[in-house]
Structure 1
Amino acid sequence: MNEKNNFDIVRLSLAFIVMLVHSAEVTRNADIRFLAHFLNSDFAVKGFFAISGFLIAKSYLRSKSLTSYFVKRAQRILPAYIFVIVMCFAIGMCLTTLPLMDFLKNKETLKYLVANFTFLNFIQPSLPGVFTDNPNQPMDGSLWTIKAELTLYVLLPFIVPLLKKSPLKVWGVIFVISCAWFFYFTAVYTGAKADTLAKQFIALSSYFFFGSLLAVHQPTFDRLKEITIVSLVLFLLFKNTNYAFIIEPVAFSSVVILFSTNLCKEIKISQYGDLSYGMYLYHWPIIQVLQHFGVFDTNAFLGLLMVIVLTLALAWLSWHLLESRFLKRAHHAQPSIVPSVARD
């Protein structure tokens, strides 16, 4: 792969898609509902996983040891993740309808902290008395992907050696398992948390490890353009059928990596920092706070503009004052292994 690439701008674009769609979905505001209709946050999230699989596989192959690999993962993910949990807790303290001591002593408050610091956000996504009048109550509904990605990071050192030996067969097995999991929890099992279970790391592994396949198997990467064209044509043909999920892992993954690697001239934005991870983490609580104060009800487009400006500002500050300080300078100098929102 050419060292010149567009991973930064593609990741930033995907983060913008997620932010815009969530602005419509979290607020349920009729004036900006069109954003959720014309943009697809599902594609953006799955695209993040594909890019992450590609970049983290490259990073793993360049790591001096397994310890070095995991240290880099922790350096990239944990600082901003811990900060956003603390930030959400501080927001909760300020905006809760409960007396402060009642809020602090509430079992749900402790449960929130324990669940979120252990990446089990789904156990307690909200804080007591916070955002109760908002259409949605979670403090940060974007965090559900982090546990899935962490799991895939742990699996990658075991999968990459297998991909190098039998690339297509290994990814084929992962693909079948992934699709079977997704099908079961969307078409067969209809019990509690079926939707949540359908989106776990097993379902996302086909995207992540297709990215890894492209990173470790040059013949597949060399045919990326052909793979993208064929898979996109098939996806468009089956888009409105029950079989689209079978084509998505290849179609979504190949198109984002093609745009990131060799489809167009490099667009440099690295001088501003790696903002996509921060945008992904911080936009939801910003939307919630603005909704709480009635900004979207007063003027939805003003609310949307404020979400964009405040999220970019916080992401910029987070990168320059927090995230980058946990990364080694040598790590920054290699754009081909800079992480996705998925983060390296």
Structure 2
Amino acid sequence: MTKMRFPRANNLEWLRLVFAMQVVLVHTTAHIGTGTPAWLAAFPGVPAFFFVSGFLIYASYCNAPDRRYFENRFLRLFPALFLVAIGGLIVALLAKGLPDLAARPGLYFGWFFSQVTLGQAFNPAHFRDVGVGVINGSLWTITVEILFYVAVPVIVWMERNVTKHAVALLSGASFAIYVAGPAALTFRLAGKGLYEYLAITPIAWGWMFGFGMLAVKNWSRIAPNLKYFPIALVPMVAMALYGSGPLFNLSGERMGLLYFACYAGLILYAAFGIRAFPLRFDISYGTYVWHMPIINLLIVMGFPDPALAIPLVVAAAAVSWFCVEKPALALKRKSIKPVEDEVARPPQPEMEGVRG
């Protein structure tokens, strides 16, 4: 199997923290602030996470297509996910009281079980009066991520046994569903339209992961041209101001194809086209998964203040990193070997990079 390789020296960990903070700021200003600044919404964190995940996770599997891949994914996500599920449960109990747990143990168990398995989007109607109405609504993206992790081995198998263009073809199909699905896939099942179910799977968002996979597959062509990628900011500004439709749209996570392509180019430039600054800790995941429970906690406790939310989110993320994530990742076996090459040098065929 062809190895997927790129420079170890990069800013991907910093960027993931920036993406997480973008989501935190958008949700904080929307729920307990004065409204989200338009410029902040022009650089959405969730699509950026999907792109980077496609880049890293695809490379990770191609370099280690064995049980290490699934072990590493589990260690990256689930220990911290278990901790934040406990935090969400505490928020619910502060709002509802312990007698409510005694009266509805099945409901609470079902919610908790869904949070630590594959049902992160599940939010019982009983919790609609807690905080913003969803205890940890941002975790729908974790469901998408997990399903993408499961899909990667299938995609690689298709590349080897069906067509080498599998990533491009599947990405195109996903984009078609992403564009047409909200209007076309309206068949209702258990009270929801079909597309609402697809919207928490890579079927709808897979094309964003696909961009990341295609980027790492074509890294030898991309790297020598990274210096030109900041030019993408010019059409992004034009599309943000005047764009609409499936190619140019910008509305939260609903991005047009060309806008997303430009955005992905900026991400690659920031990751590999400028000097790399090592990050000694990685609180991006903790920041992302903890921010909505913190916002809900402040609302439940009667202190809906953005000035409190941000430091509390960072503190919770730090606890998650140092007490749970870092010890779990110490068990993780590397699936992408490091090299010393800097991004300023054109990549060689055998160059490879950071962990998945």
TM range (shorter): 0.7 to 0.9
Distance 1:166 1:219 in 2: 24
Aligned to 1:177: 173
- Residue type of the alignment partner of 1:305: A
Distance 1:79 1:119 in 2: 14
Aligned to 2:129: 132
- Counterparts of 1:63-102 in structure 2, within 5 Å, are 63=64, 65-97=65-97, 99-102=99-102
SS at match of 1:3: coil
Deviation at 1:6, TM superposition (A): 0.5
- Residue type of the alignment partner of 2:354: I
Aligned to 2:23: 18
Aligned to 1:154: 150
Distance 1:214 1:69 in 2: 20
> Is 2:62 aligned against 1:61?
yes
- Residue type of the alignment partner of 1:275: I
Aligned to 2:317: 315
- Residue type of the alignment partner of 1:38: W
Change (3 A) 1:111 1:101: closer
CA contact (8 A) 2:84 2:290 kept: yes
Distance 2:49 2:324 in 1: 22
Deviation at 1:5, TM superposition (A): 0.6
CA contact (8 A) 2:79 2:325 kept: yes
Change (3 A) 1:167 1:101: closer
Deviation at 1:84, TM superposition (A): 1.1
Distance 1:231 1:161 in 2: 34
Distance 1:327 1:98 in 2: 34
- When you count helix as a share of all residues, which structure comes out higher? 1
Aligned to 2:345: none
Distance 2:170 2:234 in 1: 23
CA contact (8 A) 1:14 1:45 kept: yes
Aligned to 1:205: 206
Deviation at 1:289, TM superposition (A): 0.6
Moved more, 175-184 or 165-174: 165-174
Aligned to 1:300: none
Deviation by residue 1:74-113 (Cα, 9 ceiling, x = unmatched): 11111001111122113322331572454443x4323312
Deviation by residue 1:25-63 (Cα, 9 ceiling, x = unmatched): 3x2x4x52134x332287210101111111112222332
Aligned to 1:337: 354
- TM-score, scaled to structure 2: 0.78
> Percent identity, aligned pairs only?
23
> Is 2:266 aligned against 1:267?
no
Aligned to 1:241: 244
- Counterparts of 1:185-334 in structure 2, within 5 Å, are 185-190=181-186, 192-193=192-193, 194=195, 197-198=198-199, 200-222=201-223, 225=226, 228=229, 235-239=236-240, 240-243=243-246, 244=248, 245-262=256-273, 264-270=274-280, 273-296=281-304, 303-328=305-330, 331=334
Deviation by residue 1:126-174 (Cα, 9 ceiling, x = unmatched): 584x57263x211111110111111111121232465689998433312
Aligned to 1:33: 35
Change (3 A) 1:154 1:196: closer
SS at match of 1:268: coil
- Residue type of the alignment partner of 1:260: A
Distance 2:107 2:150 in 1: 30
- TM-score, scaled to structure 1: 0.81
CA contact (8 A) 2:236 2:263 kept: no
- Residue type of the alignment partner of 1:43: P
Q: Structure 1: 5+ residue runs without aligned partners?
A: 297-302, 339-343
CA contact (8 A) 2:158 2:164 kept: no
Deviation at 1:308, TM superposition (A): 1.5
SS at match of 1:109: helix
- Residue type of the alignment partner of 1:21: V
- Residue type of the alignment partner of 2:129: T
Deviation by residue 1:148-202 (Cα, 9 ceiling, x = unmatched): 1111111212324656899984333123211111122234345634456445312
Change (3 A) 1:101 1:14: closer
Moved more, 156-165 or 72-81: 156-165
Q: Structure 2: 5+ residue runs without aligned partners?
A: 1-5, 249-255, 340-352
